[in-house]
Amino acid sequence: MKDLHDIIVRPILTEKGYEGISEMRYVFEVPVNATKTQIKLAVEHVFADDGVKVDRVNTCRTLGKIKRQGLHSGRTPEVKKAYVTLKKDSKPIKFFADMAE
């Protein structure tokens, strides 16, 4: 990874993700080869204006599902999710602030 902005692909906005916002736990899609240290540095760098401090990062890889089209079969892309928990003295991310209510 050359740029820290390339590590965070997009936020994942699901029911489970919304439940964690009130506890300052956010879910992001990241590249499969990203490490926890890189994810932590990327979140702190991208949301530096918000005063974000990362406490811990948990990751989860899910294999792509097998899809068939007639005789041909293949897999959907593999996805890696990062569950980022902020420290108690950290400010919440402004992008998610109005979604938690």
Q: What is the pLDDT of residues 6-31, one digit of tens each?
A: 999 999 999 998 999 989 999 999 99
Rounded to whole angstroms, how far apart are CA atoms 45 and 23? 21
Tell how strand 54-62 and strand 72-75 pair up: unpaired
Domain 4-89 has CATH 3.30.70.330: yes
pLDDT of residue 94: 86
Type of residue found at 20: G
The full set of domain ranges for the chain reads: 4-89
Which residues have a Cβ under 8 Å from the Cβ of 68 and sit 6 or more positions away? none
Sign, CA torsion 60/91/52/12: positive
- Chain segment 71-99, per-residue pLDDT in tens: 999 999 999 999 999 999 988 888 887 77
pLDDT of residue 96: 82
